[in-house]
Structure 1
Amino acid sequence: MLTNEFTKLLNMEYPIIQAPMAGGITTSRLVAAVSNSGGLGMVGAGYMSPEQLRIQIREIRKLTSGLFGINLFVPNDFSVTEEEVRLAQKAMQPVREQLGLQENADAEIPVFPDVYQSFVEQVKVVIEEQVSVCSFTFGIPSEEVIGELKRSGIMLIGTATTVREAIELGKAGMDAIVVQGSEAGGHRGSFLQEDQESLVGLMSLIPQVVDNVNIPVIAAGGIMDGRGLMASLCLGAKAVQMGTAFLTCVESGAHNVYKKAILAAKEDETVLTRSFSGKWARGIKNKFINEMQIHESSLPDFPVQNILTQSMRKAASSQNNPDFMSLWSGQSPRLTKDQTAEALIHSIIAEAEKLISH
């Protein structure tokens, strides 16, 4: 039951994918450790420059001969006014003062990177470096991009939070779909419906997507152990994608304060917020989320708010201050452990095999 046509296609010993967490968490060591232990390691490349991505791909290749994948953010249109930036900066000024940061300059709109150009260049790197798997979050790439990647023999995986999104990803030519339940930590992958309508629990979502698409389904959201893996497979998924479980692993690049916060958190301490990035994401509730709650609806959309909070998050990290860090986490933090990626995978498989034999 633990191997199927999907795992065979990717030369995976086990149906376990390490979620591509952007922002430096998916280090070369973590990705390689997962691939070397029979799973599929993934690089969260959403915030990386094309050159940084190329360097990391080559680093990973020195550490593993196994397959691994890259995850990219599909760029979305966004607009922002000076007034929106000014109001957001004003709302965050007390936080900046608490961190000892200089006062904001009068609300000039920062220079935002050309997300479309960067995305095109990232895709080019994936093709040139002959990466085996490329997954996408926040939408569907253009027909041109999908065609180019397919011609290069790269497996494409989309991310859906509803059946409707999954159907559209299937029509667009994805080879597999990650279905992200509302339990999942980090950013929501929603792109067709409003965020509230997209908060479907994973155990409800898996069978409904399986019944409506004819490509492999990968389950994501709150899965931490062999029980979650077996439940997902029983509902029709071909593999699971796990983020928070790998985030607290030894090889993860997450800040130690962040790891400790997750290891100490309880299941009722995560909330959905758009205060950090302008896009809804699940994380551990902290002082920043509390203080920004009244401003949340008026904050600029992603990636604008993400850029506006960058210096604050960086300062909080360097000061070891969890009050103002984005502590993304799924809803099962009580099941996290401080261990190696290899130990995590072996314990999941041992538990799953025990359940099969009973």
Structure 2
Amino acid sequence: MKTWPDHRIQKLLGIDLPILLAPMAGPGSAALAIAVAEAGGLGSLPCAMLNAEQIRSEVTLIRQRTKRPINLNFFCHKPPRIDTEQEIKWRKRLEPYYLELGIDPKAPVPVSNRTPFDSTLCDLVVELKPEVVSFHFGLPNKELLARVKATGAKVLSSATTVDEARWLEQNGCDAIIAQGVEAGGHRGLFLSTDISTQVGTMALVPQVVDAVTVPVVAAGGIADARGIAAAFALGAAAVQIGTAYLFCPEANVAPAHREALRNARETSTVLTNIFTGRPARSIINRLIREVGPLSDVAPAFPLAGGALMPLRAKSEAQGSGDFMALWSGQAAHLGRELPAGELTRLLAEEVLAKLSAYE
């Protein structure tokens, strides 16, 4: 086979390859987005941890180095209510680690913030006019979404269930990312908070494909040509890949995180809420073993991360990943340490060769 079995995503987004870079807040970078875009995939810039000026600066850099379509990704969570009692409990739970690392447990801690999509960020989208805008945790309100779509941007969002996929289509999504439970980082769930019923990619994708009419992008546990070919067999029009790109030199990955990825196996990750207050898949480390993986003491998303910042800073300086979120999907062991552009092109070549072998 010399061509792809489904071209809907390429036509919709204006890209050459049905490979989307997952917008990973933290590890994601302009360099990573540029490399994937130049190779023919969709480059993505995670914006949830950036302010407006930082986003503008990153997009300017991207535009200077590629004319290919890019995706700006935003979170759509509700701003949390500060619960002083919960914060005190969380600080108390972490106090032994503060003392162990020689940090004053009563010192003020930074605020962990991930900004939800609002009118200010919408103004920025109108100004920057990205070809694609994607969301996590649902969609923004109708007025903001209408402004985004009026720019001509195609809108994507993540669904972790069939009900979420139907809701996204009904509310204006041009394509849906079906996020299986194998995926690294935050679960995109927004209609339910029950992670015990989350669905794997193999079961989720075909059911979402049957439930909606827009193209479906498979995500979760896809790291090589076999996974991409399987996604097409399930009815997906494209794949979104995250963890495999964490091995690339362009990714902003701390040395301790990179080492954990190199040593990860299929049983090395777990869903945990202790790093941000919301379920996300991370490689198991000391903090998860001793405090999590799921804690009812952790404050609401994203506030749980504030009290962890001093612990991470002190331990990371010592080469330790004990207190950092080691985001990873379940297929990290399949990762290859290649430049992102080379990895994108190689994946495409390997998939087409594999699909040809099936003919």
User: What interval of TM-score do these two structures reach, taking the shorter chain for normalisation?
Assistant: over 0.9
Q: For residue 173 of structure 1, what is the aligned residue in structure 2? A: 172
More moved, 140-149 vs 297-306: 297-306
1:93 and 2:95 are equivalent in the alignment: yes
- 1:340 is displaced (CA, Å) by 0.6
Task: Look up the equivalent residue of 1:180 and give its one-letter code.
Answer: Q
Question: Over residues 205-240 of structure 1, what are the superposed CA-to-partner deviations in whole Å (9 max), with x where a residue is unaligned?
Answer: 001001111111111001001111111011111110
Indicate if the aligned counterparts of 2:272 and 2:279 stay in contact, CA closer than 8 A: yes
Counterparts of 2:54 and 2:159, CA distance in 1: 27
Indicate if the aligned counterparts of 1:85 and 1:109 stay in contact, CA closer than 8 A: no
Q: For residue 19 of structure 1, what is the aligned residue in structure 2? A: 22
Indicate if the aligned counterparts of 2:76 and 2:139 stay in contact, CA closer than 8 A: yes
Question: Over residues 245-271 of structure 1, what are the superposed CA-to-partner deviations in whole Å (9 max), with x where a residue is unaligned?
Answer: 001111111112211210111110101
Selected match of 2:60 from 58, 61, 78: 58
Change in CA separation of 1:287 and 1:201 when aligned onto 2, cut-off 3 Å: same
Change in CA separation of 1:166 and 1:295 when aligned onto 2, cut-off 3 Å: closer
Selected match of 2:81 from 79, 82, 86: 79
Counterparts of 1:293 and 1:123, CA distance in 2: 36
TM-score, normalization by structure 1: 0.94
Change in CA separation of 1:326 and 1:17 when aligned onto 2, cut-off 3 Å: same
Q: Which has the higher contact order (CA 8 A, sep 6+)?
A: 2
Question: Over residues 72-115 of structure 1, what are the superposed CA-to-partner deviations in whole Å (9 max), with x where a residue is unaligned?
Answer: 0103142232111111001111222333322224xx89768694
The answer for unaligned runs of 5 or more in structure 1 is none
User: 1:51 aligns to what SS in structure 2?
Assistant: helix
The answer for unaligned runs of 5 or more in structure 2 is none
Q: For residue 182 of structure 1, what is the aligned residue in structure 2? A: 181
More moved, 247-256 vs 31-40: 247-256
Counterparts of 1:295 and 1:102, CA distance in 2: 26
1:163 and 2:165 are equivalent in the alignment: no
Selected match of 1:6 from 9, 23, 33: 9
Equivalenced residues, count: 354
1:119 and 2:121 are equivalent in the alignment: no
User: 1:42 aligns to what SS in structure 2?
Assistant: strand
TM-score, normalization by structure 2: 0.94
Q: For residue 312 of structure 1, what is the aligned residue in structure 2? A: 311
1:210 and 2:181 are equivalent in the alignment: no
Counterparts of 2:200 and 2:274, CA distance in 1: 23
Task: Look up the equivalent residue of 2:302 and give its one-letter code.
Answer: P
- 1:197 is displaced (CA, Å) by 4.7
Counterparts of 1:345 and 1:221, CA distance in 2: 17
Question: Over residues 2-50 of structure 1, what are the superposed CA-to-partner deviations in whole Å (9 max), with x where a residue is unaligned?
Answer: 2502212322111000100002x11111100000001001011111111
Root mean square deviation of aligned Cα: 1.9
Indicate if the aligned counterparts of 1:91 and 1:295 stay in contact, CA closer than 8 A: no
The percent identity for this pair of structures is: 38
